[in-house]
């Protein structure tokens, strides 16, 4: 892998929590760090905080709401124009289950179940659109921030219209992200672009976890160390298509290894995002 100080790295969902802490750690190592968030005020505050703490002037901020796939496309277009070379993409942006007791089924602006849209369809689309940038000067890495919480996809009711549970919605979206990881790794074999997925830590002390459950079991720093391992370890130069539980390779939900299910998900995802079959 190239030295981190020579890399341009995009981290989605980096105005707060795990994404912000990962961005800070990479900026300290001299990387050009591209922050993403959906709230302009929080995003700019995070950029300023990282600039002040690291002295690294190569920290930029990009605004996009992942609940709207048209904004994902605009983000990709902007990045392609301003950073035609990208060395690493960390898909971290996501939405949790919310306040379980008060949760109701919500839709994205495109009419899709909100957690499936933000946690899965948005990174699926963004990653595909940014592949030309990642192919410019390999090697490159794609890291998908998943979860140990995974529920199988019921293809007859992917949008959970018949039975909605916010925890199931979250877990389904994270399993979909893992399935995408395995498929994309196969697609990119031989291109010096690795694709891996990880569960960073259980119930970190983030705003998202506190909103959902009111308590935490681990720290953002623990999760950051796991993400940094996948981002910076030379031992992973040729490791691709794997699921990690923190820093250990682990076994994902069994559906992630079902080739027929993955093919169905890929076809559905291409249809929902407007991507044609490669």
Q: Which DSSP string do the residues of 210-263 spell out, in sequence order?
A: HHHTS--SB-HHHHHHHHHHHHH-GGGTT--SEEEETTEE----GGGG-HHHHH
Q: Which two tokens stand for residue 22?
A: 């990962």
Please tell me the distance from the alpha carbon of residue 92 to that of residue 15, in angstroms, as a whole number.
11
Three-state secondary-structure class, residue 141:
strand
5 dihedral zone (left: phi>0; alpha: psi -120 to 50; beta)? alpha
Rounded Cα–Cα distance for residues 91 and 188 (Å): 17
The helices-and-strands tally (H runs, E runs) of the chain is 9, 8
Exactly one of 170, 215, 229, 243 is catalytic; which is it? 170
Active site (annotated) includes residue 229: no
| Cβ neighbours of residue 224 closer than 8 Å, sequence gap 6 or more | 18, 21, 22, 25, 200
Residue 126 contacts residue 12 (beta carbons within 8 Å): yes
Catalytic residues: 170
């Amino acid at each position: 892998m190239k030295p981190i100080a020579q890399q341009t790295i995009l981290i989605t969902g980096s105005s707060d929590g795990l994404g912000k802490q990962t961005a800070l750690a990479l900026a300290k190592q001299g990387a050009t760090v591209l922050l993403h968030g959906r709230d302009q005020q929080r995003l700019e505050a995070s950029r300023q905080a990282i600039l002040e703490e690291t002295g690294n002037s190569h920290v930029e901020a990009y605004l996009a709401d992942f609940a709207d796939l048209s904004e994902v496309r605009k983000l990709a277009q902007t990045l392609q124009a301003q950073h035609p070379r990208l060395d690493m993409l960390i898909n971290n942006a996501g939405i949790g289950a919310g306040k379980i007791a008060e949760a109701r089924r919500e839709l994205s602006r495109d009419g899709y179940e909100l957690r499936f849209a933000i946690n899965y369809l948005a990174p699926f689309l963004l990653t595909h659109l940014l592949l030309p940038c990642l192919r410019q000067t390999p090697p490159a890495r794609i890291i998908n921030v998943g979860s140990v919480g995974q529920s199988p996809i019921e293809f007859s009711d992917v949008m959970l219209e018949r039975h909605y549970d916010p925890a199931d919605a979250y877990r389904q979206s994270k399993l979909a992200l893992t399935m995408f990881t395995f498929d994309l790794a196969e697609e990119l074999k031989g291109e010096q672009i690795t694709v891996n997925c990880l569960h960073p830590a259980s119930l970190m002390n983030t705003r998202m976890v506190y909103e959902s459950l009111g308590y935490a079991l681990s720290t953002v720093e623990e999760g950051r160390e796991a993400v940094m391992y996948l981002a910076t370890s030379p031992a992973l130069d040729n490791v691709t298509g794997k699921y990690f539980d923190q820093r250990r390779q682990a076994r994902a939900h069994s559906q992630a290894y079902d080739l027929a299910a993955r093919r169905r998900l890929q076809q559905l995802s291409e249809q929902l995002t407007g991507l044609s079959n490669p």
